[in-house]
Amino acid sequence: MKKTKFSERKTIEISIDGTRIDQIRLSMTDWRDIKGNIGSTLLMIGHKIKAKLYLNALCLLISPKIVVELYNKGILKQDKLAKYKIEIFEWSAECILEKIIYGDINNQVGDDIAVIFNIVSIPQNQEQSLNKFFLED
């Protein structure tokens, strides 16, 4: 079986504590129809998430709108010591959120925000599968 890079896959499957962030829906502002009823819309947008592994750090490049929604929904927490179980396809690790910056870990500024996690632990059976998912560009 040929190994593929993230950029060659159609859809990346990323979960944080069991919530698929690649399928997150944006909450839109409430609206009122002509009868005065208040409604709310959830909008799913076609957003791209890139993941890169740097030694003991995992960097997710995500749209700023999605990062805000991750905080609004409580998927990302304000607690700096909170641990997250992150799953990318079959790979998983326990991580702590280190920082959120514009651009990426190499200071390349773009439209996305880098959500950088420190990897705390990887299940033993997962260590061998790192190369399957994290290939150099």
Question: Distance between CA atoms of 77 and 56, rounded to whole angstroms?
Answer: 21
Asked whether residue 32 carries a pLDDT value surpassing 50, the answer given is yes
In a domain, 41, yes or no: no
Number of domains in the chain: 1
Residues 94-133: pLDDT tens digits? Answer: 999 999 988 665 656 677 889 999 999 887 665 545 555 5
The length of the chain in residues reads 137
In a domain, 39, yes or no: no
In a domain, 32, yes or no: no
Residues 34-57: pLDDT tens digits? Answer: 787 776 666 666 678 888 888 889
In a domain, 1, yes or no: no
Cβ density class 95-104: b for 16+ within 10 Å, e for less: bebbebeeeb
Residues 58-98: pLDDT tens digits? Answer: 999 888 888 988 998 899 998 889 999 999 888 899 999 99
Query: What tokens were used for 7?
Result: 């950029």
The DSSP output letter for 30 is P
Asked whether residue 24 carries a pLDDT value surpassing 70, the answer given is yes
The number of beta carbons lying within 10 Å of the beta carbon of residue 60 is 25
